[in-house]
Amino acid sequence: MSAINYAQERYWEDVSVGDELPGFSKTLNWTEMVLQVSGSQDWNLVHHDSDFAQESGMPGIFYNTGWTTGMLGRLLTDWAGRSGWVEKLSFQMRGMNSAGATVRVHATVTDKRMEDDRALVDLNILMENDQVGVTTPGKATVRLPRKNPA
């Protein structure tokens, strides 16, 4: 996992289409699964009862939507820096992230533009794991500060 320098600003002028966000990887475990379920209070049985999850057609229990949103949000806010702002985030949950998997979250800059006085960067975001491949494709728009706002 690469270190993020939170004191450093990321400016719109320094971003180019095609840039890759450094992203991060995380190996999922049962303790984190329990903490996620209890912290979010998402008591749906598919997130903590293996038998119920399997009877529902799932391979086992899996991390929930809140956790997925948090992982993608972490990617974007770490990259955007202290003055950046996530304006838009959308994603599709196409596969399960379960304990034992190693998840990788990363993104690519697809466009940058000025809209009114906002310096915006569009990204394709992706979560994948070593068990099923791509689990969560998505898109995001991040507002970044300008070096010399007009």
d(CA 22, CA 102): 16
pTM assigned to the model: 0.84
**What's the mean pLDDT when you consider all of the chain?**
86
Number of structural domains (the chain) is: 1
Domain CATH code at residue 120: 3.10.129.10
In a domain, 140, yes or no: yes
In a domain, 95, yes or no: yes
For 33-56, what is each residue's pLDDT tens digit?
777 776 666 666 665 667 776 777
In a domain, 9, yes or no: no
In a domain, 121, yes or no: yes
Domain residues for 44?
16-144
In a domain, 133, yes or no: yes
